[in-house]
């Protein structure tokens, strides 16, 4: 079993080293053994609730099918460790990771194509999730397992104390943010509250990740797909530039963003909102349990993002199940993929308030209202269904996200910079990135 897996992965790594091309062979010549244990890697913190939930899923899968699964939880340096295993010609059989990593893993030749005809539960998976795990050529190289989208969290107690309405548009966001910043909503007599908590760090592209919730709502985009399947940079278009300027004004003119926002990644912004120093926060559902305990469920509300200039599109994300190339047990891989999207697998993943590995279900037969009676979960599910917007599955999204984060964060940090000039420079970088990936429009 071990030898077979090494041969399959070796084919992939050799192809990458010798050709430098995307795709690569998928280890189709590996001898198969349906009794070989499956090694599953999941991107979550070892020893925490996510690991325990994944093990519950694996145990239920073993009981239902007889296939054995060994779960390994990794959070820090996940991609580096996966690359090391590829270099050692010893890939795990299954990886559960962010859907945004699809393009990168596919371009590295680490994945095998998913045959939906072998999965009885595939027809019940939401189309939005399936599309997010397809490569630009329309082939299925992953499966959605968990979905999520961003909503606007508002300190309800502050808003009601000031007698202000829930914002219905961007002008309402700006107005409420100013009130939360200047009118002492917590009543402590100090000027120590921020209207909007923003994750503007350049680390891992957080500023781009956060700002996408405003960019798409304005009708802008990071890159735009052309009719021939190629892409053009889009950050200097009128729609994108307007979104950048509006958001930049929140920090540079209105001063409603928290101090130090340009250095804050999500751990810091989570702490800030939790500590009662911010009035609004755009974030997905995974923090509900934490904030319910720390702030109190009655202190804040969950509402859809107000409509921008074009729509109310927000960032959609989630985890996918990936079948790694070179496995000696493809039958087991297929069986696990099918179980992960089944109603049973989805419901197991949704168990528990702390650390559920399924935020929103991807199987249409699973009713979010029955699994989680709290109406806030349905709000999140409705947002995902009507307004969720995934990043495109290009060969490598990371440099696009990082370059846009660097520019957006800089524009917030230095209010003297020229917005138009900086966005023009950014588009030049993005054009080169797209060209290098072979998807740049002429």
Spell out the domains of the chain, with CATH numbers in brackets: 2-147+316-389 (3.40.190.10), 151-315+394-436 (3.40.190.10)
DSSP 387-438: HEEPPP--S--HHHHHHHHHHHHHHHH-TTS-HHHHHHHHHHHHHHHHHHTT
Strands 194-197 and 278-283: parallel
pLDDT tens-place string over residues 360-414 = 999 999 999 999 999 999 999 999 999 999 999 899 999 999 999 999 999 999 9
pLDDT tens-place string over residues 91-108 = 999 999 999 999 999 999
- pLDDT of residue 4 exceeding 60, the answer is no
pLDDT tens-place string over residues 111-156 = 999 999 999 999 999 999 999 999 988 999 999 999 999 999 999 9
pLDDT > 90 fraction of the chain, expressed in percent and rounded: 90
pLDDT tens-place string over residues 308-331 = 999 999 999 999 999 999 999 999
Run of H or E including 268: helix 266-274
Averaged pLDDT score across all residues of the chain: 93
pLDDT tens-place string over residues 239-269 = 999 999 999 999 999 999 999 999 999 999 9
What pLDDT is attached to residue 11? Answer: 42
Neighbours of 163 (CB within 10 A): 7
Rounded-to-integer distance, Cα 220 and Cα 234, Å: 7
- pLDDT of residue 291 exceeding 50, the answer is yes
Residue 352: pLDDT band with limits 50, 70, 90? confident
pLDDT tens-place string over residues 405-433 = 999 999 999 999 999 999 999 999 999 99
* Crossing angle between the packed helical segments 419-436 and 398-413, to the nearest 10 degrees: 170
Neighbours of 253 (CB within 10 A): 10
Rounded-to-integer distance, Cα 16 and Cα 27, Å: 13
Q: Which residue has the tokens 């054995």?
A: 68
What pLDDT is attached to residue 29? Answer: 77
Residue 28: pLDDT band with limits 50, 70, 90? low
Write down the pTM of the prediction. Answer: 0.91
- Contact of 38 with 94, CB cutoff 8 Å: yes
Rounded-to-integer distance, Cα 403 and Cα 405, Å: 5
What pLDDT is attached to residue 353? Answer: 72
Q: Rounded to 10 degrees, what is the CA torsion of 287, 293, 297, 299? A: -100
Run of H or E including 269: helix 266-274
């Amino acid at each position: 079993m071990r030898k077979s897996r090494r041969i399959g992965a070796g084919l992939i790594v050799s192809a990458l080293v010798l050709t430098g091309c995307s795709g690569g062979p998928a280890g189709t010549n590996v001898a198969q053994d349906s009794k070989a244990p499956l090694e599953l890697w999941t991107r979550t913190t070892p020893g925490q609730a996510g690991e325990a939930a994944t093990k519950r899923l694996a145990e239920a899968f073993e009981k239902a099918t007889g296939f054995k699964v060994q779960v390994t939880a990794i959070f820090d340096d996940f991609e580096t460790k996966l690359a090391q295993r590829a270099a050692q010609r010893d890939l795990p059989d299954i990886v559960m990771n962010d859907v945004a990593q699809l393009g990168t893993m596919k371009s590295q030749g680490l994945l095998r194509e998913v045959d939906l005809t072998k999965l009885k539960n595939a027809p019940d998976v939401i189309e939005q999730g399936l599309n997010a795990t397809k490569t630009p050529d329309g082939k299925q190289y992953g499966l959605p397992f968990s979905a999520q989208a961003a909503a606007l969290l508002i300190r309800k107690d502050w808003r009601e104390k000031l007698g202000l309405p829930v914002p219905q548009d961007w002008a309402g966001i700006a107005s409420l943010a100013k009130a939360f910043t200047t009118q002492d909503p917590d009543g402590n007599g100090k000027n120590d509250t921020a209207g909007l908590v923003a994750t503007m760090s350049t680390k891992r592209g957080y500023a781009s990740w956060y700002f996408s919730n405003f960019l798409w709502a304005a009708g802008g985009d990071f890159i735009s797909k052309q009719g021939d399947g190629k892409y053009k940079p889009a950050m200097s278009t009128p729609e994108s530039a307007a979104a950048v300027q509006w958001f930049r004004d929140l920090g540079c003119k209105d001063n409603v963003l928290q101090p130090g926002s340009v250095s804050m990644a999500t751990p810091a912004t989570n702490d800030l909102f939790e500590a009662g120093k911010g009035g609004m926060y755009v974030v997905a559902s995974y923090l509900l349990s934490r904030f319910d305990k720390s702030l109190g469920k009655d202190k804040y509300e969950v509402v859809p993002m107000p409509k921008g200039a074009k729509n109310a599109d927000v960032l959609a994300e989630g985890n996918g199940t990936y079948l790694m190339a070179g496995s000696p047990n493809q039958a087991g891989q297929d069986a696990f993929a099918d179980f992960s999207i089944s109603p049973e697998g989805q419901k197991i993943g949704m168990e528990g308030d702390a650390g559920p590995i399924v935020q929103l279900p991807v199987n249409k037969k699973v009713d979010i209202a029955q699994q989680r009676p709290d109406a806030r979960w349905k709000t999140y599910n409705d947002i995902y269904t009507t307004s969720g917007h995934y990043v495109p599955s290009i060969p490598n999204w990371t440099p696009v996200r990082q370059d846009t984060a660097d520019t957006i964060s800089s524009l917030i940090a230095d209010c003297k910079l020229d917005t138009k000039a900086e966005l023009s420079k950014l588009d030049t970088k993005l054009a080169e990135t797209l060209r290098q990936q072979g998807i740049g429009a002429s």
